[in-house]
Amino acid sequence: MASITFPIIKKKVSIGAVILMALAALGVFAAFFRWIDGFSQVSNLSDSRPWGLWISFDLLVGVPISAGAFILAATVHIFHIEKYKPILRPALLTGFLGYLLVIIALLVDLGQPQRIWHMLIYRNLHSPLFEVGMCVMTYTAVLFLEFSPPVLEKLGWTGLLQAVKKISIPVVILGVTLSTMHQSSLGSLFLIVPFKMHPLWYTPLLPLLFLVSAIAVGFGMVIFECTLSHQVMGGEVRKDIFQGLAKGMLATLSVLLAVKLGDLIYAGELGLLLDGSLQSKLFILENLVGIILPIAILLVPKLRRSVRWIFRAGMLTLIGLILYRLNIGLVSMAGAPYLPSWMELSVTVGLFSAGILVFGLALKHLPLEEGECAHGD
């Protein structure tokens, strides 16, 4: 990869890292501009479109792509399937960074971000959003504890490291419980708008669909981050790990497809798929890319044994989840025409650029690999 040398610090930085730093800086600028001058100067949000890109992507996508953390934590620590231990720490890092980025995005999106702590004292116990807020806050603290061992190892704080390890099982159980609760509660948020949401997406099963789709993309994200770790750190990815993740992803995607198709048939809305509207086309696209194609790949024994094809199936699942959540937040909802402003895009792109930078730095400077991670074919 091409690189440049800064004459003062005398360290080579890749062109990709420079671009990511520039995008992150632009995002910081847009966020501060929003905090100073308010929404009207930065976003195209309106009373009929109060939830735009920041909620549809930063929250609805940022939370499920972190699901690999609770899936692997439960697999390794609760079910004691040790072969996945080498990829647990990168998954926990992704989860922790994902939730931090979600919190920062919420601070940009909230009208009065300095009052975010008010939910602790002005509690609405009947609100799914209250449950989501409390679970996200608590689960971020849990992820901090789960990810702390490599940091403590790097610092040499063995006493604190042993204390954290002693409470690891109850912490993991708490994390799994919290994660499954708010993954489904994100879907519950949309149950209050049955007449504003397009029938292709609206269903009483939204909490279940949000949970199952999060688990599916959790497998896909772990496949992606394991491959990224291999590219940064070198070494080999174990094929048996990838094949195990592929089996989990195939099973979850199959359940997701069955639930979606069964719900459309039961509701008598299958004909909406062929009405030629923009909504029907995008609904078909999200399910073709994110569910049908990955299932087709993983049903072929030869492809299911190939690391490259498993990676492609994982990427399709990830892209499909992004399309699904963007369709939920932007396409399915009735309201005034909406396109995000360049500053809205800058905040979102900047946040994820910062996340990639931090992930790369952690891979290089923290002991994240407890074993070999990949072997291509």
DSSP bridge partners of 237:
374
Which of 312, 253, 284, 317 lies closest to 65 in space, CA to CA?
A: 317
Q: Where in the sequence of the chain do the CATH 1.20.1630.10 domains occur?
A: 44-336
pLDDT(275) > 50: yes
What pLDDT shows up at residue 8? 47
Q: Is 372 helix (H, G, I), strand (E, B) or coil?
A: coil
What's the pTM?
0.88
Percent of the chain with pLDDT over 70: 93
Model confidence pLDDT, tens digit, residues 99-131: 999 999 888 888 888 888 888 888 888 888 888
d(CA 203, CA 213): 15
What pLDDT shows up at residue 203? 94
Contacts of 319 (CB under 8 A, 6+ apart): 289, 290
- Domain 44-336 sits in CATH at 1.20.1630.10
Helix (H) or strand (E) holding 216: helix 206-233
Which of 259, 250, 245, 255 lies closest to 297 in space, CA to CA?
A: 250
DSSP string, 82-111: GGGGGGHHHHHHHHHHHHHHHHHHHHHHSS
Model confidence pLDDT, tens digit, residues 49-95: 888 888 888 888 988 888 888 888 888 888 888 888 888 888 888 88
d(CA 253, CA 363): 30
Burial letters 63-93, b for 16+ CB under 10 A, else e:
bbbbbbbbbbbbbbbeeeeeebbbbbbbbbb
Higher-confidence residue: 200 or 128?
A: 200
Q: Stretch 229-250: mean pLDDT, rounded? A: 80
Q: Count H helices, E strands: the chain?
A: 14, 2
Instruction: Report the mean per-residue pLDDT for the chain.
Output: 86
Is the distance from CB of 103 to CB of 59 less than 8 angstroms? Answer: no
Percent of the chain with pLDDT over 90: 34
d(CA 257, CA 259): 6
